Amino acid sequence: MRATFSRAPISVVRMANCLVVQHVAPESAWAIGDSLTRSGVDIDTRRIFAGDILPVDTSEYDGLVVMGGPMSATSDEGFPTRLAELALIADGLASGLPTLGVCLGAQLVAVAAGSDVHVGDKGPEIGWAPVDLSPACRSDMLFGGLPHKLTVLHWHGDTFDLPPDAQLLMSSDVYPNQAFRIGETAWGVQFHLEVTREAVAGFIDTFVDDAASVPGGAEGLRNGTPAALAALHSPRDLVLDRFAHLVAAHVHAGRRVRSRRHFANISEP
């Protein structure tokens, strides 16, 4: 009599993946990408400046990162993907997707959550300068345990109002809204925590007029960068590794039930 054998079912383990929206060449994910890679997360970078197409929603992703850029979060001029990006962010917010917006990305998160972005009344904030951490950071999943003050790279002219129900996390002497959290898993940071020495050099070489406008000019920025990065290195990696771990964990938890909370209707211009 011939023996029969049954095959054990084959289980496919899906790697966590993260969508990164990159608007301009010098503003890539930098240290965010390094942290995601260390956590075993696949990175799907859509380079808007190169004509990459955005997905219609975030259903196939475990994390969303939206990077910076010189365009306005409130205008489609020179920014044809703005509404599509706002739709992606709103989709991620509604589902509890780990989300991180950087500079322009933070402003887009604010708009998607129902807030306003406008030109800063104190002019551009550019260069290495401190931000103060609020007491709310103590219990925050990304920023808990950090020093009360961090010196970070600022590079923006617009600012935003705090979205409804958002938790303010950081402020500066120039603009009070520097970092915030929506719900438990979405953050916006107005400054550039992700930068490396190569990243800062790219900013200086690309945004020449901006760099020239700060005290000491481009050379002053270059000279101040090594010491600033050395001080920022440990808190930067701690924060970004924590975010990457949230993305990696999301693949095991599966997508959460969509929140009943209403986010901005961005289908209209």
Q: How confident is the model at residue 259 (pLDDT cuts 50, 70, 90)?
A: very low
CA distances to 21, 23, 31, 40, 104 from 52, in Å? 10, 10, 22, 24, 18
Mean pLDDT across the stretch 159-176? 97
Which distant-in-sequence residues (6+ apart) come within 8 Å of 212 by Cβ? Answer: 218
Q: Beta-carbon neighbour count of residue 41 at 10 Å? A: 23
Sheet holding 63-66, edge to edge: 42-47, 17-22, 63-66, 99-102, 186-189, 179-182, 167-171, 125-133, 149-156
Check if 192 is active-site.
yes
d(C-alpha 135, C-alpha 138), whole Å:
6
Mean pLDDT across the stretch 243-268? 66
Catalytic residue among 18, 23, 85, 103: 103
Residues 192, 153 contacting (CB under 8 angstroms): yes
CA distances to 124, 197, 228 from 209, in Å? 12, 19, 22
Please name each of the domains of the chain with its CATH number: 17-253 (3.40.50.880)
- pLDDT, position 193: 98
- pLDDT, position 14: 76
- pLDDT, position 12: 53
Check if 219 is active-site.
no
Catalytic residue among 23, 154, 156, 192: 192
Report the mean per-residue pLDDT for the chain.
Answer: 92
Mean pLDDT across the stretch 211-216? 96
Mean pLDDT across the stretch 236-249? 98
- pLDDT, position 140: 98
pLDDT tens sequence across 4-36: 555 655 555 679 999 999 999 999 999 999 999
Residues 73, 36 contacting (CB under 8 angstroms): no
d(C-alpha 208, C-alpha 202), whole Å:
10
Check if 18 is active-site.
no
pLDDT tens sequence across 197-208: 999 999 999 999
Q: Does the predicted TM-score (pTM) go above 0.85? A: yes
Residues 70, 36 contacting (CB under 8 angstroms): no
The answer to whether residue 63 scores a pLDDT higher than 60 is: yes
Percent of all residues in the chain with a pLDDT value above 90, rounded to a whole number: 87
Residues 39, 245 contacting (CB under 8 angstroms): yes
- pLDDT, position 267: 43
d(C-alpha 73, C-alpha 38), whole Å:
31
pLDDT tens sequence across 103-150: 999 999 999 999 999 999 999 999 999 999 999 999 999 999 999 999
Collapsing DSSP to helix, strand or coil, 3 comes out as coil
Catalytic residue among 27, 85, 125, 194: 194
